[in-house]
Amino acid sequence: MTESTNGFELNEDATLALQIDRLMRRFHSDLHPRAQAVDQEKIGPTTAQEISETLGRDKSQVSRVIGLLTRKGLVQTTTHERDARSVSLRLSKQGTLQLAAFNGAMVETTKSVLGPLSQDEVRQFSALLTKVLSAKP
């Protein structure tokens, strides 16, 4: 499969990369207006280190986000019960409500973006995503 972009022919790898980029941008643009409004599961107690490892993000990046969420009243912090040098994190009641609203927005966005696919195709797509995302980088 090749695609022509601005007169340039793209090979299969470049075409796939462009398609993934477009898909991600579509999700972002469809989700952004919905995300104004966030209980699949309650979060916590956990630590910044655990979040960093789970998300595969730099600890300093996670710490900045946690600071912002704490200032907004979405996350509560306490001294970790096993390690006084560490902070334990838990969603506040407001944070739990925001998470439920955000999850709803994610579901609606996914339905919108994947709307052209049949239920069987959505299941196949989900299985393929699971396979890709569970592979070691």
Predicted confidence pLDDT, tens digits, the chain (137 residues): 455 555 567 776 776 676 677 777 776 766 655 554 333 344 556 777 877 777 677 888 888 888 888 898 988 888 777 777 777 788 888 888 887 787 788 788 888 888 898 999 999 988 888 888 777 76
Q: Residues with Cβ < 8 Å from 99, sequence gap 6 or more?
A: 38, 39, 40, 43, 91
Pairwise CA distance, residues 32 & 134, whole Å? 26
Q: Does the model's pTM come out above 0.85?
A: no
